Structure 1
Amino acid sequence: MDGPAWKVLLLLCLAAAAGTRAQDAGQTQFICTSVPKDVDLCTASMQSSGPAEDLKSTVLQLRETVLQQKETIIHQRETIRELTSKLTRCESQSFPAGPGGRRPGSKNTMGDLSRGTAETLAQLGHTLQTLKQRLENLEHYSRGNNSVQANSLKDLLQNKIDDMEKQVLSRVNTLEESKSGSRNDSEQRNRVESTLTSLHHRITDLEKGKDRPADKFQLTFPLRTNYMYAKAKRSLPEMYSLTVCLWIKSNASPGVGTPFSYAVPGQANELVLIEWGNNPMEFLINDKVAKLPFLINDGKWHHLCITWTTRDGMWEAFQDGVMRGNGENLAPYHPIKPEGVLVLGQEQDILGGGFDATQAFVGELANLNIWNRKLSITEIYNLATCNSKALTGNVFSWTESSIEIFGGATKWSFEPCRSAN
């Protein structure tokens, strides 16, 4: 080995020995090996012995691991970018839930679309069965009264119901064969809703021939949909105090839904009674919430009354004539606004619409009356025990001429207290 090569190799050995001696003094040996003049010292050292081979293998493995992690990071970035894009689109099409789980701005489509078209059509079939039962009752009545007009209407209604049954059956068969587009489903539902509403109006006209008192009726909402409802023909006036009373019967779960809701321009939850999901029943004024201690989900008739005054937002809740709870700070000093829409059986997300099937009322209700004053405890007890038959709401009274019915909700005779027992 000539002079320069020997000196370079010696310097490398001394540097390595010095560096390692600082870490593990006396525990490592260093062997200096001569190499040809023109060979790369680093390459020669990597190829010279067993430990060097291990080091080379480790370096290659680390390099491969780094490349794999780089590919994984790139893939994860793409995935995160795709998920972020989807989340942005979802957020742009959805709205946050308000108090009690209400969702402002939801679309007013027929039925609960998340449940599927087949189940919605099955619900419509159930509605048709209810209408047929009413028609049979009317047929029995017409036999006892020999009314040519009643028989003519009965035959017309029977034909209409038969046609409806054929449409529903045909639709179900089509669904079993192949899935149809959402546009066709929506058009079919609109036609069914229109026909059900027409049938209900005709049956109501026929039932009026039985000379039933104007306030002796109940509304039945047999299905949890977003197209069965009733609507008051007149708005409520501005009110600084109120009492609302009604008879109610339901065993729906979870929650009975929304017996009534009153919306005004700019505020969909001006006055609402709702029991949604597993929450207790709530009374809302101007979107402020009071939780009510009612227990009514037992399939029996119950009489409910709620009083409220704008001063300090004081409220009281009565079930079957007995006070069950009270509180304050429910929309204090906020008068109930006029020029609104009173809907029975649905919760409004927009003025007069935006119904959500999951918040629909399921059951029966009757004798909804509203006063612009706070009734006394004695007056409320008399209403619950039917000892004050002449006491009716002065801003909204329960009469057939004061409401319109849509979507197949049904109307039956009802006698307070007698029907409840």
Structure 2
Amino acid sequence: MCSRTVGLGGKVLVFPYETDFSFVALTPRKEMELRAFTLCMRVATELPVERQIILFAYRTADFDELNVWRERDGRVSFYLRGDGVFFHLPPITTFRTSLCLTWESHRGLAAFWVDGRRSSYQVYKPGHTVRPKGTVLLGQDADKHLGDLEATQSFVGELTDLNMWDHVLSRSAIQAWHYGRKVPEGNVFDWATIQYTLSGNVMLVDDD
């Protein structure tokens, strides 16, 4: 395991093949006690549609607090401590996709944004709060706290520009992020200043 490092601006994380030991652990800028959020990343994969893929995993000691998946049927889903909600989105392919997820507790409105376009809203877990003091992983789903990793769920491909805010960004801000324009720094995760730890066979390459 590498020591904790800061800042991934201009870099891409490459997960070259399926493993049960390669992941990136992220340290948030603030505790992840969230009643709303926007999570954005740019992602590409060659994995076939029928292969389940973990895109983002946040787990506390006893629960998966916030997980984002591409399911075996190609839908994209996210889970807040229990049953998930599922969206039919354009496929994630070998060409980079800008993917954002927004959710707010007050009304439970949830949506994915693909390349700056919003899905239809779904109502999911109004009144819920994401709990703090967990671990964020890219590349693997920790079914128990930093344990029980499964190669058949691992991420294979490229991931970059992951940012997270503790509120729902406006349409114009999400579209600006998609086009690479300046937006407010993510106050939970900011790719340019993010604290991260690489484990296993994860490559860090320039975003050419």
Structures share a fold, TM > 0.5? yes
Which of 278, 282, 285 does residue 80 from structure 2 map onto?
A: 285
In the alignment, residue 255 of structure 1 is paired with which amino acid?
A: R
> Given the alignment, which residue of 153, 156, 162 partners 1:368?
162
Per the alignment, residue 413 of structure 1 pairs with 206
- d(CA) in 2 for partners of 1:270 and 1:243? 15
CA contact (8 A) 1:242 1:371 kept: yes
Distance 2:100 2:132 in 1: 21
Question: Shift in Å at residue 256 of structure 1?
Answer: 5.8
Q: Does the aligned pair in 1 maintain the 2:26–2:197 contact within 8 Å?
A: yes
Contact 2:16 2:201 in 1 (8 A): no
Report the equivalent of 1:378: 172
Q: Using the alignment, how far apart are the partners of 1:246 and 1:392 within structure 2? A: 14
Letter of the 1:351 partner, please give it: H
Q: Partners in 1 of 2:33 and 2:65 — Cα distance?
A: 11
Structure 1 counterpart of 2:11? 217
Please give the TM-score of this superposition, normalised by the length of structure 1. Answer: 0.46
| Residue 295 of structure 1 pairs with residue 90 of structure 2 | yes
Candidates 244, 248, 252, aligned match of 2:43: 248
Equivalent residues, number: 205
Describe the SS at the equivalent of 2:147: coil
Any idea what SS the aligned residue of 1:381 has? helix
* Counterpart position of 1:391: 184
Measured against aligned partners, the alpha-carbon deviations of 1:68-103 in whole angstroms (never above 9, x if no partner) come to xxxxxxxxxxxxxxxxxxxxxxxxxxxxxxxxxxxx
Please state how far the C-alpha of 1:364 moved relative to its aligned partner.
0.5
Q: Counterpart in 2 of 1:349?
A: 143
- CA deviations on 1:140-192 (whole Å, 9 max, x unpaired) are xxxxxxxxxxxxxxxxxxxxxxxxxxxxxxxxxxxxxxxxxxxxxxxxxxxxx
The gaps in structure 2 that reach 5 residues or longer are none
By percentage of residues, which structure has more strand?
Answer: 2
Cα separation, 2, equivalents of 1:256 and 1:363: 13
1-structure distance, mates of 2:75, 2:153: 13
1:236 and 1:413, CA in 2 relative to 1: closer, same or farther beyond 3 A? Answer: farther
1:324-380 deviations in whole A, cap 9, x for unaligned? 23210x222110100000000111201222211111111110011110000000000
Unaligned runs of 5+ in 1: 1-196
- For the Cα contact (< 8 Å) 1:249–1:364, is it kept in 2? yes
1:148-187 to 2 correspondences below 5 Å:
none
Q: CA deviation at 1:247?
A: 0.4
2:61 to 259, 265, 270: 265
Counterpart Cα distance in 1 of 2:111 and 2:96: 20
Higher helix fraction: Structure 1 or Structure 2? 1
Give TM-score, length-normalised by structure 2. Answer: 0.90
SS of 2:176's partner is helix
Change in Cα spacing, 1:360 to 1:380, as seen in structure 2 (3 Å) is same
1:324 and 2:112 correspond: no
Q: Does 1:309 align with 2:104?
A: yes
SS of the residue corresponding to residue 412 of structure 1 reads strand
Aligned equivalent of 1:334: 128
Corresponding residue for residue 120 of structure 1: none
TM-aligned CA deviation for residue 396 of structure 1? 1.4
CA RMSD for the aligned pairs? 2.1
Distance in 2 between residues matched to 1:346 and 1:371, nearest whole Å: 22
Task: Work out whether residues 54 and 153 of structure 2, in 8 Å CA contact, stay in contact via their aligned partners in 1.
Answer: yes
Q: What SS class does the counterpart of residue 315 from structure 1 fall into?
A: strand
| CA positional deviation for 1:264 | 1.0
Taking every aligned residue pair, what percent have the same amino acid on both sides? 23
Q: Report which of the two structures shows the higher radius of gyration computed on alpha carbons.
A: 1
